[in-house]
Amino acid sequence: MAEQGEPDLLEELVRAVEGDRLFPAGGTVLLACSGGGDSVAMAAMVARLRGRLGVEAVLGHVNHGLRGRSADEDEAFVRDLADSLELDFRRRRADVAEERRLRGGGVMEVARRLRYEALRAMADEVGAEAIATAHTADDRAETLLLNLARGAGPRGLSGPRVRRDDGVVRPMIAMRRGDLRDWLRERGLGWREDRSNEDRRFRRVKVRKELIPWLEANLNPRVVERLAETARLLDGVSSVAEADAAAGLERARVASPAGETWLDRAVLATYHRASRCMIVAAALRELIGEGRPVALARIDAVLERDRDAQLAPGIRLRVLDERIVVSNEQFQQDELAETTLAIGATIEVGGWSFQVERACPDPAIRGRWVAELGEVDPPLTIRSRRAGDRFRPAGGPGERKLSDYMIDRKIPKRSRPGVPVLSDRKGILWIAGHRLDERAIPEKGAREIIRIVAMPPKGDPHEDREDEHKE
Domains of the chain in start order, with CATH, are 9-135+170-218 (3.40.50.620), 234-328 (3.30.465), 339-455 (3.50.40.10)
Under DSSP, the state recorded for 414 is G
Confidence at residue 458, expressed as pLDDT on a 0 to 100 scale: 62
The angle at the Cα of 60, spanning 59 to 64, to the nearest 5 degrees, equals 145
pLDDT digit string (tens) for 294-351? 788 889 998 988 778 888 777 889 888 889 999 887 777 788 999 999 999 999 988 8
Confidence at residue 15, expressed as pLDDT on a 0 to 100 scale: 95
Confidence at residue 363, expressed as pLDDT on a 0 to 100 scale: 77
Confidence at residue 470, expressed as pLDDT on a 0 to 100 scale: 36
Confidence at residue 195, expressed as pLDDT on a 0 to 100 scale: 80
Question: Is the pLDDT higher at 48 or at 469?
Answer: 48
- Find, among 83, 99, 184, 86, the residue nearest to 134 by Cα: 184
pLDDT digit string (tens) for 385-394? 999 999 999 9
Q: Tell me how far apart the alpha carbons of residues 142 and 190 are, in angstroms, rounded to a whole number.
A: 25
Mean pLDDT, residues 145-166 taken together: 88
pLDDT digit string (tens) for 375-434? 899 999 999 999 999 999 998 888 999 999 998 887 877 788 889 999 999 999 999 988
- Identify the band that residue 460 occupies on the pLDDT scale cut at 50, 70 and 90: low
pTM of the entire predicted model: 0.68
Mean pLDDT, residues 83-107 taken together: 86
Q: Report the mean per-residue pLDDT for the chain.
A: 88
Mean pLDDT, residues 83-95 taken together: 94
